[in-house]
């Protein structure tokens, strides 16, 4: 069984500030981890994913995430927030099956 916990349903940052969105997972098998972004009235779009290999994963739009097995975490970061980053972000986990288990999502607001 797998589960995902995203800490903070809403996060606000100033434009140019660091973005940090937290994700912790639970998995009985080595996990595959994902971050998706959802802009208003749109479907989900993949930001980045961890499968195997390097634990620091770089994605689109300057985002990156680090897989930390000891902490069961996969936090998403971006050094400098842009207004266009305002969206909802979902962390997800899968195991050997193709099912994704999503967290509840974190809505990011960027303050000018």
Partner 1 sequence: DAGVIQSPRHEVTEMGQEVTLRCKPISGHDYLFWYRQTMMRGLELLIYFNNNVPIDDSGMPEDRFSAKMPNASFSTLKIQPSEPRDSAVYFCASSHPAGPGGDTQYFGPGTRLTVL
Segment interacting with partner 1, rule: CB under 8 A, options 18-26, 58-66, 70-78, 89-97: 89-97
43 near partner 1 (CB under 8 A): yes
84 near partner 1 (CB under 8 A): no
Per-residue exposure over 42-61, b if at least 16 CB sit within 10 Å of its own CB, e if not: eebeebbbbeeeeeebebee
Segment interacting with partner 1, rule: CB under 8 A, options 14-22, 63-71, 74-82, 88-96: 88-96
98 near partner 1 (CB under 8 A): yes
């Amino acid at each position: 069984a797998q589960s995902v916990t995203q800490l903070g349903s809403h996060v606000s940052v100033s434009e140019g500030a660091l973005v940090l969105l937290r994700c912790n997972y639970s998995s009985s098998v080595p996990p595959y981890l994902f971050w998706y972004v959802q802009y208003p009235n749109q479907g989900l779009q993949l930001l980045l994913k961890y499968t195997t290999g390097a634990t620091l994963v770089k994605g689109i739009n300057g985002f990156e995430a680090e897989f930390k097995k000891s902490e069961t975490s996969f936090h998403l970061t971006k050094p400098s927030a842009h207004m266009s980053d305002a969206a909802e972000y979902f962390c997800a986990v899968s195991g050997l099956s193709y099912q994704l288990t999503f967290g509840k999502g974190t809505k990011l607001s960027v303050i000018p």
